[in-house]
Amino acid sequence: MENIVIIGSGIAGLTAAIYNARANLKPVVVSGKKEGGQLMLTTAVENYPCFPEGILGPDMISKAREQAKKFGTKFVDGDVKKISLKGKAFVVETEEGNIESKAVIIATGADAKTLGLESEKTYWARGVHTCAVCDAYFYNGKEVVVVGGGDSAMEESLFLTKHATKVTIIHRRDKFRASKIMQGRVLKNKKISVVWNSAVEEVLGDGKKVTGVKIKNLKNNGSSVIKTDAMFLSIGHIPNTKFLSGLVKMDEQGYILADRTKTNIPGMFAAGDCVDKVYRQAITAAGTGCEAALEAERYLEGG
Ligand code: NAP
């Protein structure tokens, strides 16, 4: 029987592993097929303290993994298929077999929704982004588009106005889904304009970076091109929690409901983007990973 199984090897899971390993708990990390999480899909991370020159997302993950390993973390490849309860313990079904554990930390993250375009993949992190707080800085004095009409799209657009000279929101309907207060702020902002009833059909570029987007008007089927240096997607996220359905309390979108990191199941903790739909930052994910690890330690000590 293991002490702690940590599910997910993004920055939340690896931070939890570093803490639990340094407490001699010999944690087991089930890495998941998308090993390393969303940081593996970013380029320079410039807002994580201690890296004044910035650090590449994949480098950050590889260093955190090395650090977790150094203190005795074991790694298991692949995804978790299911977790079930066995008395007070957990049975974690992985692709490599079952692991029994006294405690588990869920740190499976969330995936930003994408449009599913081939050209979106071509320019991923080279003009196509999903986090304005992370990447707006690269567009100082440039023009950007934002896709989406929810609160996140409003927030991202407003944040982008601090850097870009012009922000164009492309929304598929003629009304925003966002709260009235956020809509008001956006519609009042002189740097922001809105293209209604439209969908991005293709991301255009010069092979190295984004130069524009081809859009289709969904009312009259007309196509046009907007010149832009970047496209920020803000069309929602999907938490990676399907394998837990029926076991732990979640909201209607699948985010785990937790009291800080404590779920409704004793011994099961949650950290990072699978529980946080508001901040979604590397530093906050690492912070909750630490919290979950300390709570799990306390639980194992019977506290
Ligand atoms: P959301 O509310 O689900 O909005 C997603 C937006 O993207 C919608 O406008 C949707 O269009 C559009 N969309 C979805 N799929 C699309 C596609 N394939 N192509 C084009 N457009 C697409 O997601 P969110 O904005 O990320 O917010 C998630 C939750 O967090 C919400 O409950 C939100 O209120 C909350 N949140 C709150 C704050 C805040 O209070 N400060 C900030 C951020 C988020 P339709 O409208 O046509 O469906």
What is the residue range of 246's domain?
2-111+237-300
Q: Kindly state the tokens that stand for 214.
A: 């081809």
> Is residue 67 located within the same domain as residue 118?
no
Higher pLDDT, 38 or 171: 171
What is the number of the ligand 1 atom nearest to the C-alpha of 237? 26
Indicate if the pLDDT at residue 46 is higher than 90: no
**Which of the listed residues 192, 211, 233 is the one where a domain comes to its end?**
233
> Is residue 294 located within the same domain as residue 147?
no
Counted residue by residue, the chain has a size of: 303
Q: How far is the CA of 182 from the centre of ligand 1 (A)?
A: 12
Which residue has the least CA distance to atom 39 on ligand 1? 151
> Is residue 213 located within the same domain as residue 280?
no
Calculate mean pLDDT across residues 114-143: 94
> Is residue 68 located within the same domain as residue 92?
yes
Indicate if the pLDDT at residue 42 is higher than 80: no
Indicate if the pLDDT at residue 74 is higher than 80: yes
> Is residue 125 located within the same domain as residue 228?
yes
* Confidence band of 152 (pLDDT split at 50, 70, 90): confident
What residues line ligand 1, using a CB cutoff of 6 Å? Answer: 113, 115, 147-153, 155, 172-173, 177, 235-236, 277
> Is residue 103 located within the same domain as residue 250?
yes
- pLDDT at residue number 134: 85
Residues assigned a catalytic role: 131, 134-135
> Is residue 137 located within the same domain as residue 191?
yes
> Is residue 135 located within the same domain as residue 80?
no
Please report, for the domain that includes residue 204, its CATH number.
3.50.50.60
DSSP letters for 138-199: GGTT-EEEEE--SHHHHHHHHHHTTT-SEEEEE-SSSS--S-HHHHHHHHH-TTEEEE-SEE
**Which of the listed residues 185, 202, 233 is the one where a domain comes to its end?**
233
- pLDDT at residue number 58: 92
Nearest Cα neighbor of 274 from 261, 265, 293 is: 261
Q: How far is the CA of 60 from the centre of ligand 1 (A)?
A: 29
Indicate if the pLDDT at residue 6 is higher than 80: yes
27: three-class secondary structure by DSSP: coil
- pLDDT at residue number 303: 62
Which residue has the least CA distance to atom 9 on ligand 1? 149
Into how many domains does the chain fold? 2
* Confidence band of 226 (pLDDT split at 50, 70, 90): very high
Ligand 1, from 113, 151, 277: best to mutate by most atoms within 8 Å of Cβ?
151
* Confidence band of 103 (pLDDT split at 50, 70, 90): very high
Taking the whole predicted model, whether its pTM rises above 0.75 is answered as: yes
- Residue-wise pLDDT for 76-102, tens only, equals 999 999 999 999 999 999 988 999 999
Indicate if the pLDDT at residue 43 is higher than 80: no
